[in-house]
């Protein structure tokens, strides 16, 4: 995949992240690692007070929007950045709390879930993998900023030709687990993958469900247990 064009001079600090983003398939944008972008934004607003930081990121977003709208490429990865920068006040509130970030950096998160009958489970750091036949599920504990970034990616969903994909969105609630369900449907060849961005007792999670052979599947068994989902922290 070709590298994206160079950003305007004031936005060059975002160029390394944009280069990485350009290599990510559209249906995987919700899995983008946020740490690099967060560090770039923190460096950008370092030394500024709250209002100054909000204004600077608002100006950056306006310039980015003007620049990307002049491009004829509707699949340009900068659209994803536009979605993330849509709410500078929220971003700044998160980024200007380094002490809290330092405290949570050492926190270990554990996913707790009562799995459906017949499903196997395997733990990994801050996550849980489940399998039942050819169907798989991965549940990852997330921080709120990462969830916001993933929502922004879906809100600015763009499918580059010749791919034919459909995104369906549904607000869901499974007991205390509430959020949004995304159905990622590929027209040809037909396939389905699901993503849930949920607030649960103890934190936030990303739940992905798919089929090893990209076939259709029934998610009702796992959905029936999402009301037991929670995040426990230690450290």
> In a structure prediction context, what are the per-residue pLDDT tens digits for the chain, which is 235 residues long?
455 667 788 888 888 778 777 777 766 666 676 777 887 888 888 778 888 888 888 888 888 888 887 765 555 677 778 777 877 677 777 777 654 444 444 578 899 999 999 999 999 888 899 999 999 999 999 888 778 777 877 777 766 566 677 889 999 999 999 999 999 888 777 788 999 999 999 999 999 998 888 788 999 999 999 999 999 988 6
Residue 198, CA distances (Å) to 8, 142, 180, 215 in order: 36, 10, 7, 25
Q: Is 235 exposed, middle or buried (0-12, 13-18, 19+ CB in 10 A)?
A: exposed
pTM for this structure? 0.61
Q: Is 103 exposed, middle or buried (0-12, 13-18, 19+ CB in 10 A)?
A: exposed
pLDDT at 8: 82
pLDDT at 124: 85
pLDDT at 101: 44
Angle (CA) 209-210-215 rounded to 5° is 150
CB 206 within 8 A of CB 88: no
pLDDT at 102: 47
- For 70-127, where are the alpha helices, taking DSSP H only? 78-84, 88-95, 98-105
pLDDT at 74: 55
Which residues make up the CATH 3.40.1000 domain(s) of the chain?
107-235
pLDDT at 76: 67
Q: Is 114 exposed, middle or buried (0-12, 13-18, 19+ CB in 10 A)?
A: exposed
Q: Left (φ > 0), alpha (ψ -120 to 50) or beta: where does 122 sit?
A: beta
The CATH code of the domain at 107-235 is 3.40.1000
Closest CA to 197 of 187, 185, 207: 207
β-strand pairing of 108-112 with 230-234 = antiparallel
């Amino acid at each position: 995949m070709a590298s994206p064009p160079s950003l305007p001079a004031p936005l060059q600090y975002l160029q390394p992240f944009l280069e990485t983003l350009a290599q990510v398939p559209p249906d995987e944008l919700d899995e983008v690692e946020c740490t690099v972008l967060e560090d770039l934004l923190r460096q950008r607003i370092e030394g500024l007070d709250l209002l100054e930081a909000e204004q600077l990121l608002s100006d950056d977003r306006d310039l980015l929007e003007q620049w990307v709208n002049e491009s004829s490429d509707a699949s340009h990865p900068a659209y994803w950045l536009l979605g993330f920068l849509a709410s500078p006040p929220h971003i700044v509130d998160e980024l200007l709390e380094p002490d809290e970030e330092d405290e949570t950096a050492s926190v270990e998160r554990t996913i707790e879930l009562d799995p459906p009958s017949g499903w196997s489970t395997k733990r990994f750091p801050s996550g849980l993998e489940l399998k039942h036949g050819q169907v798989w599920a991965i549940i990852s504990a997330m921080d709120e900023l990462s969830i916001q970034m993933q929502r922004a990616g879906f809100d600015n969903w763009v499918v580059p030709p010749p791919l034919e994909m459909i995104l369906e969105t549904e607000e869901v609630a499974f007991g205390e687990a509430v959020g949004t369900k995304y159905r990622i449907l590929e027209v040809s060849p037909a396939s389905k993958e699901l993503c849930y961005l949920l607030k649960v007792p103890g934190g936030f999670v990303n739940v992905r469900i798919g089929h090893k052979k990209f076939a259709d599947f029934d998610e009702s068994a796992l959905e029936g247990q999402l009301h037991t989902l929670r995040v426990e922290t230690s450290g």
